[in-house]
Amino acid sequence: MLSLIIFIPLIAALGLLMVSRDNTAMIKVVGVGAAGASLSLSLWLLFSFDTASSEMQFIQMFHWVPALHINYLVGVDGISLWMVVLTSFLGLIAILFSFNQKEGFRNFMSLMLALEAGTLGVFLALDTILFYVFWELMLVPTYFLIGVWGEGRRVYATMKFVIFTLVGSLLMLVAILSLTMIHYGATHDVTFDLRMLTHTHIDPATQIWMFFFFFLAFAIKVPVFPLHSWLPHAYVACPIPALILLTGAMSKTGAYGFLRFCLPLFPEAVDSFAAIIGLMAAAGMIYGAWIAIAQKDLKALVAYSSISHLGFIVIGIFAHNGTGIEGSVLQMVNHGIIASALFLIVAFIEMRMGTRSLNELRGLSKVMPVLYGSFMLIMLAALGLPGLSGFVGEFMILMGVWTSNIFSGLSGILVLMGGLSIIFASIYMLYMFQGSMQDKPENLPEGLTDIDQSEFRLIFPACLLILLIGLYPKPFVDRITPSVDSLLHLKKTVNLNAGEDHH
């Protein structure tokens, strides 16, 4: 089942290359069919999932490279479950929005499906080498999507993104191989199975550099301040359909990596560095929000707001308690929905007005009441209004940070910094909304129309989920809790004294 979720989009991506470039109807059918099938299966997964269990479920395994003990091994738990559902949901929205793509439509659609498959693979892989393969697979389509179909300084943006990401990836590969060698030293058993490796006790001094290598790879992907400098360039240059997957799902792979690798594998290193990482994340929250206030380009404004919101997710993870981590996982889902919806709204405005500049937008609400209503709801969720999804995650994260033992004396300062970034969020979100929607209309083009039915269908699920999670988050949190508890109470059963403990 899990393999189908990953490979249906991947096989469709390869299959599209056999279809004629001019056969747009067929390309659309394959694209929507593959993304729709992946979403249907992930929803089936959601309803079949045993909420009481903290174990990996729906595990599939076969020997991939037997000589090296590398297996194709996938599974899902409460932490990855929502990431899979989110990615397949955003994948379908992004594919549907790709229909506006005129140039190189077939190749664009193929790369979008490959990007979705790579991201899903990262969330499901339990073999560290398989994880690395999918991690790299995400990079290839993104490189071409930004480099070929992007706008502005797209070549600069894509080169910067690739260089940053590759450095992190190579360090992660070194750490992955070292991890297996350490496990082999303890058990004389070669394995890349993450479930086994998390039980290996690693010497605290070794933990520090290994943690640093993993942390760097994931922190670049999130990104954590000050490793964020690729993001504004990449986001502004990126075409909107690819950006939906990039901000909604791919940025979450870094945060997911912290939860799947850094916390369980290197507890002592996490203890040592959590306060520093907390300060980095909090600085990013304020920095991103502060810079967002200064933006005139709507796309750049949402890009900088993402740096701020992703900082929230990181600080919740390193609070290292149930409330903080559950809030972060929920906020990953919320940010994926809200940020993607905001980028869609920016695209709808640009398609009609020919500009994204706040200096040239005024009074759109008079002509576009449906967009006005949708925009208002999504904007209020983004600034954390109680009763909407953004509030629940941020509140849980701040509670987690406040009660965190690992941040100890810094908790109060970090919560204050978080509160300050929420105040800034209110400023830039209202500034963005009022600047484009309200005031007296000026220079509105003739024949300006509201969003049509097909566009409203793209944005309606996000509006529905914002209300649903905001009013009743319990079913979402219930599926996360057992896995988070298991992560926090992990026992290291494999000792480093060679051969003492055979598994």
d(CA 392, CA 220): 26
Please identify which residue in the block is written with the tokens 């983004």: 382
pLDDT in tens, the chain (503 residues): 889 999 999 999 998 888 888 888 888 899 899 999 999 999 999 888 888 888 888 888 888 888 888 889 899 988 899 999 999 999 999 999 988 877 888 899 999 999 999 999 999 999 999 999 999 988 899 889 888 888 888 889 888 888 888 888 999 999 999 988 888 888 888 888 888 888 888 888 888 989 999 999 999 988 888 888 888 888 888 888 999 998 888 989 999 999 999 888 888 888 888 889 999 999 999 998 999 898 888 888 888 888 888 999 999 999 888 899 999 999 999 999 999 999 999 898 888 888 888 888 777 777 888 888 888 999 999 888 888 988 988 999 999 999 888 887 888 898 999 889 889 889 988 888 888 887 776 667 777 787 788 888 889 999 999 999 999 989 888 888 888 888 888 777 776 554 344 44
DSSP string, 36-51: HHHHHHHHHHHHHS-T
Which amino acid is it at 98? S
pLDDT at 53: 82
H-only helix segments in 403-473: 411-437, 453-471
The domain ranges of the chain are 1-265, 266-491
DSSP string, 318-372: HT-SHHHHHHHHHHHHHHHHHHHHHHHHHHHHHHHHS--BGGG---GGGT-HHHH
pLDDT at 19: 84
pLDDT at 500: 41
Burial class of residue 148 in the structure, from the number of CB atoms within 10 Å of its CB (0-12 exposed, 13-18 middle, 19+ buried): middle
Q: Read off the tokens for 384.
A: 């954390």
pLDDT at 258: 92
Give the residue among 178, 170, 279 at the shortest CA–CA distance from 216: 170
d(CA 298, CA 35): 28
Q: Read off the tokens for 409.
A: 């004396």
pLDDT at 118: 93
pLDDT at 487: 84
Which amino acid is it at 132? Y
Burial 234-264 (b: 16+ CB within 10 A, else e): bbbbbbbbbbbbbbbbbbbbbbbbbbbbbbb
pLDDT at 12: 92
Give the residue among 151, 274, 269, 287 at the shortest CA–CA distance from 223: 287
d(CA 201, CA 183): 8
d(CA 34, CA 28): 10
